[in-house]
Amino acid sequence: MGVVKARSSDIDLLARLLRAEAEGEGELGVLLVGNVGINRIRANCSDFKGLRTIPQMVFKEHAFEAVTHGYFYQAARSSEKRLAQKVIDGQRFWPAKFSLWYFRPPGDCPSTWYNQPFVSRYKLHCFYEPTSETCANVYNTF
Residue 2 counted as domain residue: no
The model carries a pTM of 0.94
Answer whether residue 135 is part of any domain.
yes
Mind listing the pLDDT tens digit for each residue in 80-129?
999 999 999 999 999 999 999 999 999 999 999 888 999 999 999 999 99
Tell me if 3 is assigned to some domain.
no
51 part of a folded domain: yes
Sign of CA dihedral 43, 95, 30, 69: positive
Q: What is the CATH number of the domain that holds 44?
A: 1.10.10.2520
pLDDT at 64: 75
Strands (E), 69-132: 101-103, 112-113, 116-122, 125-128
- For residue 102, tell me if it sits in a domain: yes
Q: Which range of residues forms the domain containing residue 69?
A: 8-139
Tally of domains in the chain: 1
**Cα 19 from chain centroid (whole Å):** 12
Does a structural domain hold residue 1?
Answer: no
Cα–Cα distance, 67 to 69 (Å, whole number): 6
